[in-house]
Structure 1
């Protein structure tokens, strides 16, 4: 099907961005809002967005005029009667969307495709409310729509053959990368992203690590563009809470139940950047500055590194180069070995001196304190890491520490998603790279880390937390057992 005339209902920031995307691709657009005041706000969104593009040299003034000239704004839904496609971008309330789609079904020609921009609600429920369920799909853009390259195209069990392919082709015409998925709560991106964010809040509540340290570990250690708490503040805590509720309603997986901390912040009206305060305040930011070297030396004279030979030797050499002395009777013992660290600490004459060290990437050192670790040893370990150019992430002696505890369940969810036939490896990887700015997709990460390492890490998490979803996915377990290092592409 050729799409040349499209309608967009709802011209908030997202809807106006979607209208702009269509107009930039040369399509005629009819933008609809509820009243004149809302329409004026929508016009303002379009003018500001295209104006910024001109100011940055991404659009010529005459191109901006052409784009805006392709968009007709109206308060009458009846003006949509001759369009080829309508995309809905109204608030994420299922009753509102169903009411709108019933009205669009009445107004539009029988062949018109109706699409919802929902990020997590049931496309099937919306389609079933119309007389054309086979021509209703999800077309989930990401904010800001003119910039983000991903579109999730969602088909249902009743979608007509060819409709998803037509809409996917249209997304390509818009300059987007489309991933075709089934109708499951959260689709691909939110179904993988939100449980990870919720899990970060749970680790913070359990006291495994602090807010700033968790964010630093994921940004600097994994290379994610934002830590989980900074990202939650950007998304909006209320939005994250609502999506988690939708996921929980469908799965009844207790990991998908919004964390109590998230619920408390939303109830208090602390919604993130939109309200000026959430997990962070307006100026909240991680400060990874190192202490003055002489100040740290005054607290610590000697060290000993034990554990993995290669990593241990490398860390010891960095410490010696910084002017610190190894000793058999040290002030602090840095243990690079499998956890639990406490099992290594109790072998020492003074277990209070031991701190577990887990190096993550080139910049982060997770520092695990046991129940016996002294504050002096923990402080000294933090200072040493800073002096040798590593960002310390203090945490408890728990399975996975911080990074693996957050990352491995996320990777496990991706394996289950693929194994269920819900989306391809290529689409899942593309969705997380383009939708979240990840440096690599989950399957690229899995194969880089090594399947056996991830499988064993999940087993350790399951043993400690007894969370059923932490048990390694059957496909992952089978591939490791078969000594296969890559996932089969279907």
Structure 2
């Protein structure tokens, strides 16, 4: 089993590993190393914290035994490989030390200064930070070339992704050695440069923050946005349910780190995040956040909509009208129907303004096969919106009520996320396959951003971003230059680049 790399012509071996900080994450990391057969030294600040760390290890491996994934003998072997201590001095002969203490830069820098003094000269020092500058941490040591990021995901024994972060001064080959070690642990490593948030948090938290901004702007409701992204895109959770799971305080802090580095307006934490955090509403861990421990409320309308004639306009109108006719609704004309449904992926206010009864027109954007975005213009009557909401349910889709804005809900959230991924790749600090793998494995997404781009079409996404930029005038919505150039050149997939 060759898991070592080369440094100065000598073989580097990782057989004894230190883990500093034995909270849920640190204890999980220690367990991962011990499961792979490595000797582990776990360090905590005091005896009480050390006992809590021991409890995390015993509970985690105990759950694996209960589920039949480990035998009691295997559990004993794993725990036997972990030595627990309150002294950093016990890390003097470790080959690798992974730091997993709280996300406070001053704490981490102080710890790395101590580790640099204590650990042998050949030891590699790694930080499990999820968003802080690895370069800033490395700068406190006399061995910045031997400092990397090794970002595990929670729960570490289960999640397969490890982000391996290299800095501008990381020794040649070291990131590859750490990636090889991650594979030895049964993980999938992705190699990224040292940018705030790395891959997963930089893409994920920006999308989640964007959802919070759209909620504040009244584009759609909390439940509507969550349903749109879960059912329309196939994501495991909607953005607000996921924010509550992550913790609003954690999300807020990551956004602050992102904004501090980029000064991009989309990285500025949404005011509603700050307000909820200040009020102590941190998500699931505090019993309330965007949700108060409740499930998404049902907005299901009872009974059949009180309209008889429906006019359907736009691409796909015949099929939709036929389904309504089968349900007992009479086809009508736009001039005199009780309600007018305009199938469209763009705002419909201009069409409404041309009708004799603009209050009867409602935009409808069909997303996948489960969702229909119900777009109300400034002229749409509440009765018309309710009627179309009911019609959508009759044809077997979940309605998501929203304002008549560029790209409505799903595409307004999805396209900037994809644009961010293109910019990330074009900047050179993460590859296409690594970015896709990171979002699939780190977030449980059904596809990575470049896989989504291929499915949607580069031109479709480029044009959607242009529409968002025209409406909101946010520079981040302008198509990435690479995306624009690919479409202009007639390239169908970013993977076709030489």
| Alpha-carbon distance in 2 for matches of 1:385, 1:20 | 49
> How many Å apart are 1:437 and its aligned residue?
0.6
Aligned to 1:296: 304
Q: Does 1:238 align with 2:249?
A: yes
Of the three residues 184, 189, 194, the one matched with 2:195 is 184
Aligned to 1:319: 324
2:345–2:407 Cα contact (<8 Å) kept: no
| Alpha-carbon distance in 1 for matches of 2:337, 2:188 | 56
> How many Å apart are 1:484 and its aligned residue?
1.1
| Alpha-carbon distance in 1 for matches of 2:377, 2:356 | 15
Aligned to 2:108: 97
| Alpha-carbon distance in 2 for matches of 1:305, 1:54 | 58
> How many Å apart are 1:286 and its aligned residue?
4.5
| Alpha-carbon distance in 2 for matches of 1:314, 1:190 | 41
| Cα deviation digits, residues 283-341 of structure 1 (max 9, x gap) | 232436x444xx224x2222111001xx3222222222223222223221110135321
Of the three residues 20, 23, 31, the one matched with 2:42 is 31
Aligned to 2:379: 372
> How many Å apart are 1:454 and its aligned residue?
0.4
Of the three residues 377, 387, 403, the one matched with 2:410 is 403
| Alpha-carbon distance in 1 for matches of 2:136, 2:497 | 32
| Cα deviation digits, residues 33-76 of structure 1 (max 9, x gap) | 00110011111111111111111111122111111111111111
| Alpha-carbon distance in 2 for matches of 1:375, 1:102 | 63
Q: Does 1:424 align with 2:435?
A: no
Aligned to 2:394: 387
CA RMSD of aligned residues (A): 1.1
2:191–2:430 Cα contact (<8 Å) kept: yes
Aligned to 2:475: 468
Aligned to 1:137: 148
How many residues align structurally? 484
* Partner-residue secondary structure (3-state), 1:83: coil
Unaligned runs of 5+ in 2: 1-11
* Partner-residue secondary structure (3-state), 1:296: coil
* Partner-residue secondary structure (3-state), 1:167: helix
Q: Does 1:20 align with 2:25?
A: no
TM-score for both structures, normalised by structure 1: 0.97
TM-score for both structures, normalised by structure 2: 0.96
| Alpha-carbon distance in 2 for matches of 1:327, 1:69 | 76
| Cα deviation digits, residues 446-482 of structure 1 (max 9, x gap) | 1100111100000000000000010001111011111
| Alpha-carbon distance in 2 for matches of 1:103, 1:40 | 23
Of the three residues 274, 278, 296, the one matched with 1:267 is 278
1:30–1:73 Cα contact (<8 Å) kept: yes
Of the three residues 70, 91, 94, the one matched with 2:81 is 70
| Cα deviation digits, residues 356-392 of structure 1 (max 9, x gap) | 0001111000010000000100001111111211000
